[in-house]
């Protein structure tokens, strides 16, 4: 299919898909006001993510298995990371409040259960228990500890503060490596970086002949006896090695385990950088 017909077809599909999502979200909001709970809604959210990927011609390949009751820690390249990961299971996300301000999309992701954190605000104390509660109830929560998107050619430092949720009992930490493109170099269309707008990025995606993305679900870690710094370094190193990216975080596992076991989890959560 040539560029013009492909762009038109995908654009119409995305518009229809957004209208479908808006209709479902309105129904959920109205139902909640009357005290109704839609147990099926998380499955609909997963379906919505998968359908958006198909509408944009995004082909997802998964390697590995999703760990139960896990905090998912992923590298961050694009807003597409959310539907790509969200299409795999019932997964909630932690996102910046900036996303919540996006017209229509922000409202919809809020209805879908996204947790928001303000840029530069110290909200970790209130978010950690909420993240842990959702995971213990059998769900998954995905976070992007780089705090911003990259072009896929680098892996920024992981901010360990929100990884405190991985220290909670009953919560596993699973690194998730994302890579867009089928060649050696990452796909240049996928990254959502700089001052680009959502609309302009959607237009570029709609013109793309077909975007390939690979999800690698890496071995999980029981972080209950580790410091959050170690959890951060483990995820950073695991993702960096799989993607072939250099990482600066490298501490020996046994030494960090001994350090973590010498302190109580409460002390580690507060004092570890």
Angstrom distance (rounded) from CA 129 to CA 131: 5
Mean pLDDT over 159-169 rounds to: 91
| Whole-number pLDDT of residue 119 | 64
pLDDT of 263 over the 50 cut: no
Maximum pairwise Cα distance, the chain? 63
Angstrom distance (rounded) from CA 187 to CA 191: 8
| Whole-number pLDDT of residue 195 | 87
Total domain count, the chain: 1
239 or 257, greater pLDDT:
239
Mean pLDDT over 99-109 rounds to: 83
Distances in Å between the alpha carbon of 16 and those of 13, 22, 181?
A: 5, 10, 27
Mean pLDDT over 200-209 rounds to: 93
Query: What would the pLDDT profile of 19-67 be if each residue is shown by its tens digit?
Result: 999 999 999 999 998 888 888 999 999 999 999 999 999 999 999 999 9
Tell me the pLDDT band of 88, cut-offs 50, 70 and 90: very high
Phi, psi of 207 (to 5 degrees): -85, -15
Pair type for strands 172-180 and 211-217: antiparallel
| Whole-number pLDDT of residue 258 | 36
| Whole-number pLDDT of residue 122 | 66
Range of the domain at 177: 3-271
pLDDT of 97 over the 90 cut: no
Distances in Å between the alpha carbon of 204 and those of 9, 122, 188, 211, 256?
A: 14, 35, 10, 11, 45
Contact 218, 174 (CB under 8 A): yes
Query: What would the pLDDT profile of 212-253 be if each residue is shown by its tens digit?
Result: 999 999 999 999 999 999 999 999 999 999 999 866 544 434
């Amino acid at each position: 299919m040539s560029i013009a017909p492909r762009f038109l077809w995908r654009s119409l599909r995305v518009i229809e898909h957004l209208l479908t999502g808006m209709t479902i979200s309105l129904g959920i909001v109205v139902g909640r006001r009357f005290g109704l709970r839609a147990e099926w809604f998380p499955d609909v959210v997963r379906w919505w993510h998968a359908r958006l990927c198909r509408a944009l011609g995004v082909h997802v390949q998964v390697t590995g298995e999703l760990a139960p009751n896990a905090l998912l820690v992923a590298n961050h390249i694009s807003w597409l990371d959310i539907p790509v990961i969200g299409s795999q299971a019932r997964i909630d996300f932690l996102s910046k409040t900036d996303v919540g301000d996006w017209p229509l999309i922000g409202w919809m992701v809020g209805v879908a259960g996204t947790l928001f954190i303000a840029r530069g605000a110290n909200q970790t104390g209130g978010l950690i228990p909420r993240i842990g509660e959702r995971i213990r109830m059998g769900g998954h929560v995905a976070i992007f500890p780089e705090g911003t998107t990259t072009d896929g050619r680098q892996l920024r430092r992981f901010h360990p503060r929100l990884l405190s949720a991985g220290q909670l009992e009953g919560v596993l930490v699973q690194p998730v490596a994302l890579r867009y493109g089928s060649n050696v170099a990452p796909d240049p269309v996928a990254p959502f970086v700089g001052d680009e707008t959502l609309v302009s990025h959607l237009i570029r995606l709609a013109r793309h002949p077909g975007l390939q993305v690979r999800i690698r679900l890496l071995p999980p870690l029981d972080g209950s006896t580790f410091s959050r710094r170690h959890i951060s370094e483990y995820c950073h190193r695991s993702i960096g090695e799989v993607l072939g990216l250099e990482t600066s975080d490298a501490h020996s596992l046994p030494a960090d385990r001994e350090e973590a076991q010498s302190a109580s989890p409460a002390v580690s959560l507060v004092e570890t950088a």
